[in-house]
Structure 1
Amino acid sequence: MKRLTGKITSSIFKELDFNSVEQDKINYAMEVVLTDLSKAAILLIFFAFFGLVIDFLFVLAYSVPLRFNVGGFHMNKYYSCLLFTLMYCSLTIMLQRMVLTDNGLLFSVAAVCCFLIYFISPVIPAKKLNAVLVRKLKMRGVTLSLLYLLIFPLSNSSYVRYGLWVIILQALLILIAKGVKENEKRKNKNYAAGSV
């Protein structure tokens, strides 16, 4: 992906005058876009094979904005990220299609998970955080979660139920990610104290 991005951006840079910082930013943005588009295309083909394209698109439509604001696990490698996204989307679809839950119970669990999202999010690298950003991401994440909750009673569609499953899974994922992050902090603190 880096080679393809490099070829595309080098042809852009020949035509336009950018300094090295601007070139790095454009190169990074192009790499992110191409990587995400290629993963989405692969996943779309996978779910099309099973006749689940619409389900996948709804899961994606609910997941991406929420995940962007509340954070969670992020994989460093292309294939691990692709595999994680495939498992996440597949699990969401399987839960919706196979777990027969009462609408009231599903709604209640999702509502509790909204509180978890409020108290735990965002779970993103500390170097990207400041108090204003944390507050903005938290409020957007909670607002999206509440919006998904409020849409549910208006339509008893299976596609709307995906929003509740996404809230539940995302809350569990950020709870786990927060635990991992805290454990790593504790290990690093103990290691630093022991090495002095």
Structure 2
Amino acid sequence: MLVDQLINRPIYYFTYILFKKNLMSHKDIRIVKYGMQVVFSETLKILMLVLCFGVVGKLPEFFLSLTILILIRSYSGGIHFSTFMRCFSFTLVFFLLSVTVLPVVDYINNPSIYVAIVPLSTLIIYLYSPMPSKHRPISNKRIYYKNKAIATLLTVAIYSAILLLPLDSHLKTIGIWTIVLQAIQIMIAGGVKNEKKAIRNG
């Protein structure tokens, strides 16, 4: 993809210089390259999303949803893609659902529904977290369970803040659906991971 090439070209050039001058080990160069790819692609993705939601006048709502997602996903992980455009497209659909679509569907936005989906999504995040990228696997069990615990506690804390603080009801709805969609996302990621494992073992 063109965007991936534009992102990777300066990174490959920079890491090639590190390699040629023997400034770092091969392992460290791979870590630097991956880190730079993440920073470049995430920055570009957020700028594009800001532009999209700025055009439709939903920037405050988008930033609320983005903040909640970053807090939880940093520890829970989620679905990961191999190209920038696939990642951007998935992320755009995620925020369109959490900010503009689900909050305005009346029949799914009532306290009786929330009573069911709040504990259910919290349980899903507890069971399936963390779902790290294959480029940053978690081999240390202590870190694995630490991330699981933090993801779950953050989910509970954010849900509590949403439900207890005197926020606008529309913002509450956006916050709740952001967490629900994140729970669905890591459940899908977990299913894909288990399917790949079954295929390898089959």
Q: TM-score, normalised by structure 1?
A: 0.83
Are the aligned partners of 1:72 and 1:177 in contact in 2 as well (CA < 8 Å)? yes
Specify the alignment match of 1:167 in structure 2.
179
1:137 corresponds, among 141, 147, 171, to 147
Q: Which amino acid aligns with 2:154?
A: L
Q: Quote how far apart the aligned CAs of 1:176 are.
A: 1.7
Specify the alignment match of 2:71 in structure 1.
65
Q: Quote how far apart the aligned CAs of 1:162 are.
A: 2.4
Deviations 1:69-120 (A, max 9, x none): 1122101101100101001111111345312211353254122211121122
Runs of 4+ deviating beyond 4 Å = 6-11, 20-24
Specify the alignment match of 1:194 in structure 2.
none
Measured in 1, the distance between the counterparts of 2:78 and 2:33 equals 25
Q: Quote how far apart the aligned CAs of 1:159 are.
A: 2.4
- When residues 31 and 176 of structure 1 are mapped into structure 2, their CA distance, relative to the original with a 3 A threshold, is closer
Are the aligned partners of 2:130 and 2:144 in contact in 1 as well (CA < 8 Å)? yes
Are the aligned partners of 2:103 and 2:174 in contact in 1 as well (CA < 8 Å)? no
Specify the alignment match of 1:75 in structure 2.
81
Measured in 2, the distance between the counterparts of 1:7 and 1:184 equals 34
Name the % identity: 24
Specify the alignment match of 2:3 in structure 1.
none
1:123 corresponds, among 123, 128, 131, to 131
Deviations 1:132-184 (A, max 9, x none): 12211111111110111110222232324322112211111112221221122
Measured in 1, the distance between the counterparts of 2:71 and 2:91 equals 14
Q: Which amino acid aligns with 2:77?
A: G
Measured in 1, the distance between the counterparts of 2:191 and 2:124 equals 13
Specify the alignment match of 2:40 in structure 1.
34
- Ranges in structure 2 where 5+ consecutive residues have no aligned partner: 1-6
Larger CA deviation: 162-171 vs 116-125: 116-125
- When residues 9 and 124 of structure 1 are mapped into structure 2, their CA distance, relative to the original with a 3 A threshold, is closer
**2:166 maps to 1:155:** yes
Measured in 1, the distance between the counterparts of 2:85 and 2:145 equals 32
Larger CA deviation: 109-118 vs 119-128: 119-128
Are the aligned partners of 1:71 and 1:123 in contact in 2 as well (CA < 8 Å)? yes
Measured in 2, the distance between the counterparts of 1:19 and 1:132 equals 28
Give the alignment's Cα RMSD to 1 decimal. 2.4
Are the aligned partners of 1:145 and 1:167 in contact in 2 as well (CA < 8 Å)? yes
